[in-house]
Amino acid sequence: MNRRRALVFSLVVMAGLASAPVARAAITMERLRDYVLKAGAKIESSEGSLLVTSMATGGPKVEIRVLNDAARHRIGLYAYGFGNATGATSTEALLDYLLVANSELGTGGFFVDKDRDIGYKLLLDTRDPLSAQTFQIKYLAMVAVIRERRPAILKLVGKGPQREKPVDEAPADTEEPAPQTELADPPAQNPPRTRRR
C-alpha cells in the first residue's frame, strides 16, 4: 500500500513539474542602465533596447553599444572605431592579426561587418541571472581589450575610410545573415563511385 501511495505521489509531482513553464531570466532596460553606470561608463543615448555607452580611458574615448536582445536571450556588447578593412595596406596581414587576436582573447571577438568596418563584440547569455558584478567585469574587460588592440589595428588599416557607425544602426549580428557569395574556384567534385563486379 505504501509503495502504491509513493508511486502515485511521485507521478503527481512529475506531472506538475512537466507542466510548469520554463523559467526565463530576463534583464530590464532599467537594470541594464544601472549595470552600465556601476561599471563607470556614461550613457550617451538610448533607443529601444539599445544603449550607446562610452568610457574615458586616458586615450581616445571608447564607445560600446549595449543591445538587450530578449529574443535571443543575450546582451550584446559591440564596439567600433577600429577603421575599415577596405583601405588596409595588406588585408591578409589585417585578417591574420584579427585571427591571432581572437585566439588570444579570453572573451569576445573581433569581426568585419558587411560594410567592412572592424568591430569587437562580446555576448552575455541572459537565460541565467546576470549580476552587476559579472556585467562590470565583462564590460571593463572589453574596454581593456579595445584600449590594448585598437592602436595595432588602426596601424594595419592605414589611412582608409574612418567613419563611425550611426547611433541608430543595429550591431552587425542582429540583422538577417548576408547571402553567401560563391567561391572563385569551387571545390573539385569527386567522381561518382562505381561498384566493381
Instruction: Please report the DSSP string for 4-71 in residue order.
Output: HHHHHHHHHHHHHHHTSPPP-----HHHHHHHHHHTT-EEEEEETTEEEEEE--SSSPEEEEEEEETT
Cα distances (angstroms) measured from residue 150 to each of 81, 87, 117: 8, 16, 13
Report how far residue 68's alpha carbon sits from residue 84's, in angstroms, rounded to the nearest whole number: 26
Name the amino acid, one letter, at 131: S
**Cβ atoms of residues 98 and 118 within 8 Å:** yes
CA atoms within 13 A on the CB side of 110: 26
Other Cβ atoms less than 10 A from the Cβ of 172: the count is 19
Residue 57: which of 181, 147, 119, 131 has the closest Cα? Answer: 147
The confidence score (pLDDT) of residue 177 equals: 41
> Does the structure show a pLDDT above 90 at 120?
yes
The confidence score (pLDDT) of residue 67 equals: 95
Angle in degrees, CA 67, 71, 76, rounded to 5: 25
Helix orientation angle between 132-157 and 91-104, rounded to the nearest 10 degrees: 160
Q: What is the topology classification, in CATH, of domain 29-160?
A: Yope Regulator; Chain: A, (3.30.1460)
The confidence score (pLDDT) of residue 64 equals: 94
Average pLDDT of the chain, as a whole number: 79
Q: What is the pTM of this model?
A: 0.71
**Cβ atoms of residues 110 and 96 within 8 Å:** no
> Does the structure show a pLDDT above 60 at 160?
no
Report how far residue 121's alpha carbon sits from residue 42's, in angstroms, rounded to the nearest whole number: 19
Residue 114 has what DSSP assignment? T
Write out pLDDT tens, residues 133-159.
Answer: 999 999 999 999 999 999 999 999 986
Domains of the chain, residue spans? 29-160
The confidence score (pLDDT) of residue 75 equals: 95
